[in-house]
Structure 1
Amino acid sequence: MMIAWGIGTLGPVTVLTATNALLLRYMTDVYGLAAGLAASLIAMSKLYDIFADVGMGVISDRTSTRWGRRRPYLIIGAVLLAVSIVAIFAAPGFASEQTRIWYMAGILVFYATAYSVFNIPYMAMPGEMTKTYHERTVLMSWRVYGVGLAIMIATFVGPLLLQFFGGGAQAYTNMALLFTPVVIGAGIVTFYGTAKAPSTVRERTRHTLVEQIKSGFSNRPFVILVLVKLITLMSLGIQSIFPFFFQRIIGAPDGVLGLYFLCQSSMLLLTPSLWLMLSRRIGKKRTFLAALILSLPAWISWYYAGHGEASWLIYLRGVIIGVSGAGVILMGQSMLPDTMEYDFRRTGLRREGIFAALYTTVEKLSGAIGVALVGALLGSAGYLQSRGAAVVQPESALAMIRFIMAWIPTIITALGIVALLAYNLDEAKLDKTERTSA
C-alpha cells in the first residue's frame, strides 16, 4: 500500500521536473520567446494555481464516492497530466509570435489544472492513511523514492533522449510522448494499490471555506513549514538555469547534464533510509537543518566552475546535492501530515484537502518565483533568444548564468535554515495536544 502510494508521485514529479529543468530553454532556444517573457508565462500559470489548488482541495474534501474522497482523481489527473506534457513540448510552431504566446499561456494553465487535479487529493491521502508520528516518515520515504525515480526519468533520460533525437523541436516532442506511459501508468498503479488504504469520510461542518483557511493559518507549525517550503523550493525553479550553465559555461552536452542529474537523483533512491534513521535519533527538525547545511559547499563551488571542469567534480556536486535533497524532501513531506494531525487535534476538523492545497500551492508558487527570477535576471543581462539557431551570448549574460547557478541557491538555502529554526512541532508536543470536537 505504501509502495503503491509512493509510485503515484512518478507522474506529477516527472512532468514538474521536466518543465522546471527544460521548459525555459525550450521556450527561448526552440520556441523563440524572450527569456523574461517565457519566465513570466510560467510564473503567471503558477499564480493561477492559487485558485486551482484551493478549489481542488475543497472539491476533494467534499467528494464522496465508492472509491473514497481522493482516489478517483488519481486516474483523471494522470490522464490530464499526460496530455499536458505532450501539448507543452509539441507546441505548434506558429509563425506569429503573438499566437505562440497565447498558445503557451493557455496550455500552461491547462497543465496547472491537471497538476492540481492529481496532486491535491494525492497529497491529502497521507493524513488519512497514517496514525503515528514515525509512520508518516516511513510513508513519505516511499514518496522520496518515487521523487528520485521521477527526477531520474525527467533529468537523466530526458536530456539523453534530446541528444539521441538530435535536438530541436521534434526531439522535445518525442521525449514528451515517451513520458506519457509513465505518467498514466503511475496513476493507475496508485489507484488500485491504495484501494484498501485507510481513509476518512466527508464531514459536514458549519465553517465556511474562508473561516477554515483562516483557522488553518492559526496552525503555527503549518505556517512555518509553508514558509520554509516557499523559500527552499525556489531551488526547483532555479533548476531551469542548469541547461544554460552546462551548455554556455562549462561547454558540456545534454548527455553530461543527464549524467549529472543521474548522480543527483540516484541519491534520492539510495539515501532516504539513512535520513530516516537520523530523524529517529535527533528528530525531524534537526535532520532537516542538517540536510540543508550539507548542500551549501556544493552550491558555492559552482561559481568557480568553467570549461575543462573535471567530470568527477561535476558529478560529485550532483551526489552531494542529491543526498541533501533526499533529506530535505523527506523531512518536509513527513512534517506536513504531522501538522494535519495537529490541526485535527486542535479543531476536530478533517480538512486534509485544504492543507494539501495550501502546501502544494506554495510548492508551485516557489518554483514559479524561481523560474521568474531566472528569466528576469537573464533578460536584464541581455540573454538572446532564438528558434534553434546558434547565438553568441554577451559576456553579461554569461556572468549572470554563473551568478544564478551558484549564489541564488546558496542564499535560498541560508534563508530556509533561518526560517526552519522557528518550527516547534515534535512528537512530544503532538502527543500532548488533546483532541477536540468541531
Structure 2
Amino acid sequence: MTDNGTFATTPRLTRGAMIAWGIGTLGPVTVLTATNALLLRFLTDNYGLAAGLAATLIAVSKFYDAFADVAMGIVSDRTRSRWGRRRPYLIGGAVLLAVSLLAIFAAPNFAGETARTVYMALILMFYATAYTIFNVPYMAMPGEMTRDYHERSELMRWRVYGVGMAILIASAIGPKLLDWFGGGGDAYAKMAMVFAPIIILAGIVAFAGTAHAPSTERSVTHHGIGEQIRSAAGNRPFLVLILVKFITLMSLGVQSIFPFFFQRILAVPNGVLGTYFLYQTSMFLIAPSLWLWCSRRWGKKRTFMAALALSLPVWLSWMLAVQGEPLWMVYLRGVVIGISGSGVILMGQSMLPDTMEYDHLRTGLRREGVFAALYTTVEKFSGAIGVALVGALLGAYGYVQSRGGAVDQPASALWAIRIAMAYVPAAITLAGMAALAFYDLDERKLNETIAAA
C-alpha cells in the first residue's frame, strides 16, 4: 500500500471476507427493518402516542442522525488503529444497536403522555447515534476492499444476502414472535431480547472476518468538512446516485404502513404479515444471482431500472386488495417485490464504491467515509420522509390511537391506509426511475478515467 492510501496491488477478495462483511449488515438492517415495519404501530397502538406525534419523533431522530453521519465519516477517515480505519467501530456499534432496540421496544409505560414522548425522543436519538457509529464505517469498507468493477457487485451480493436475512428476522419472524409471545407491549420487548444477541454476533463476525481484507490508510492531505462536501458535489455520478437512493429509499419508511394494511384492510393476524415477508425475503435471497447475470450483460444502470419497473404493477395492485382475498394473491405480491427489491439494493450498493473510486481518480483523496456518510445521510432523510408521510396521512384522515385496545377506525383512515400502501410507493418508484436516467458512470467510463489517471 502506498503512502497516499492507494493500493500497490489489487488482490482478489476471499470468499470468507465477502461473507463476513455481508453478515455484518444483519445488525443495522435488523434494527432498521424492525423500526420501519413495527415501530409506528407499536407507538400508536401500544404506547399510546398519536400517529402524527409518533411519526414526528421518528422523523426528527433521523434528521438528527443525518448530521451525525457526516461527522462520523470524517472521524472514520481520520482514524488510525491496529485494526484499520473502519473495523474498530463494527463491534462497538453493534453493541449499541442491540441496546437501543431493547430500550425502544421495552420502553417504560409512563402514565403521562409527556413522559412517554420525552423518553421515546431520547431513545430514538440514542438509536440514531448507534446506527451511525456502525453503518458509516461499515459502508465505507467496500471502497477500500476491492477496486474491481464486477467484484464490487459480487461483494454486494453477500450484503444483499445479509440484508435478506435481516429482513427475514425482523419482518417475517418478528410478527410471528409477537403472536407467539401473546401480543401487547410485553411481546415487543421479548422480540427485542431475541434479536439483540444476533445483532452483536453479526458485528463480531464482520470484525473478525475482514481482518485480512484490503484497506487503505488515512490520506496525508487534510481538508475541512465543508471543503470535502463541496468537492464531493463535483462528482456527478455520486450526486445522481444519492438522488436515486433518496427517492427510492423513501419506500423503506413507507413500509410502516404494512402492519396497518394487513390488520385494518385485510383483517388478518400478525402471522400472515410474517408469512408475507417470509415469501418476500426468500425471493430477495434467491434473486441476486439473476441480477448479477443481468448486470454483466446489461450494465448496472439498466439492471437497476428493470428492478424498479418490476415492482410498479404490484404496488398499484394493493388498491384492489380486499378482506377475504385468497392468501396466495397476497403472497404472490411478496414474491415479486422480493425479486425487485433484491435488484434495487444490489445495483444501488454496487454503484456506490464505483463513485468512490471515481472520486479518488479525480482528486487523489481516499475519503470513503465521507461518501458513505453522505450516502447514509440520504437514507436517513428519505426514511424519515417516508415515515412522516405515512404518519401525516393517517393523522390527517383521522386515525385513532390507543394503548393496546381494539379501536374502530373511520372510513377516511382506511382510505389513507390504501393510498399509502399503493399510490405512494408507485409514485416513489416512477420518480426513482426518472432520476436514474441521468446516471452515466458505467464500466467503460470508469476504465477510461483509470487510464487517464
Calculate the TM-score normalised by the size of structure 2: 0.96
In structure 1, which of residues 181, 188, 196 is the aligned counterpart of residue 197 of structure 2?
181
Q: Which amino acid aligns with 1:152?
A: L
For 1:433 and 1:211, how far apart are their aligned partners in 2?
23
> 3-state SS of the aligned residue for 2:141?
helix
Deviation at 1:403, TM superposition (A): 1.0
For 1:279 and 1:333, how far apart are their aligned partners in 2?
13
For 2:60 and 2:144, how far apart are their aligned partners in 1?
32
Q: Which amino acid aligns with 1:287?
A: T
Which residue number in structure 1 is paired with residue 5 of structure 2?
none
Matched, 1:172 2:161: no
- 1:383·1:397 contact (CA, 8 Å) conserved in 2? yes
Matched, 1:84 2:100: yes
Q: Which amino acid aligns with 2:407?
A: V
In structure 2, which of residues 440, 445, 448 is the aligned counterpart of residue 424 of structure 1?
440
For 2:140 and 2:311, how far apart are their aligned partners in 1?
29
Deviations 1:65-96 (Å, cap 9, x if unpaired)?
Answer: 00000001000000000000000000000001
1:10-409 residue pairs with structure 2 within 5 A? 10-409=26-425
For 2:66 and 2:427, how far apart are their aligned partners in 1?
25
RMSD, matched Cα: 0.9
> 3-state SS of the aligned residue for 1:433?
helix
For 2:322 and 2:201, how far apart are their aligned partners in 1?
40
For 1:50 and 1:23, how far apart are their aligned partners in 2?
19
- 1:346·1:435 contact (CA, 8 Å) conserved in 2? no
Deviation at 1:51, TM superposition (A): 1.5
Give runs of ≥4 in structure 1 deviating > 3 Å: 434-437
Q: Which amino acid aligns with 1:142?
A: W
Deviation at 1:206, TM superposition (A): 3.8
1:85/1:435 CA distance change after superposition, 3 Å: farther
- 1:347·1:436 contact (CA, 8 Å) conserved in 2? no
For 1:50 and 1:378, how far apart are their aligned partners in 2?
25
- 2:66·2:376 contact (CA, 8 Å) conserved in 1? no
Deviation at 1:289, TM superposition (A): 0.2
Matched, 1:3 2:48: no
1:53/1:436 CA distance change after superposition, 3 Å: farther
Deviation at 1:434, TM superposition (A): 4.3
For 1:436 and 1:52, how far apart are their aligned partners in 2?
36
Deviation at 1:436, TM superposition (A): 8.8
For 2:307 and 2:86, how far apart are their aligned partners in 1?
32
Q: Which amino acid aligns with 1:284?
A: K
- 1:348·1:436 contact (CA, 8 Å) conserved in 2? no
For 2:283 and 2:249, how far apart are their aligned partners in 1?
18
- 2:25·2:163 contact (CA, 8 Å) conserved in 1? yes
> 3-state SS of the aligned residue for 1:261?
helix
Q: Which amino acid aligns with 1:180?
A: A
Deviation at 1:139, TM superposition (A): 0.3
Give unmatched runs, 5+ long, in structure 2.
1-16
Give unmatched runs, 5+ long, in structure 1.
none
- 1:348·1:435 contact (CA, 8 Å) conserved in 2? no
Deviation at 1:208, TM superposition (A): 1.6
- Identity level (%): 70
Aligned residue pairs total 437
- 1:71·1:121 contact (CA, 8 Å) conserved in 2? yes
Q: Which amino acid aligns with 2:129?
A: T
For 1:89 and 1:256, how far apart are their aligned partners in 2?
21
- 1:237·1:371 contact (CA, 8 Å) conserved in 2? yes
When structure 1 is superposed on structure 2, of 322-331 and 47-56 the one drifting more is: 47-56
Q: Which amino acid aligns with 2:76?
A: S
Deviations 1:258-315 (Å, cap 9, x if unpaired)?
Answer: 0000111111210101100100000000000000000001100000001011110000
Deviation at 1:420, TM superposition (A): 0.2
> 3-state SS of the aligned residue for 1:52?
helix
Q: Which amino acid aligns with 1:303?
A: M
Calculate the TM-score normalised by the size of structure 1: 0.99
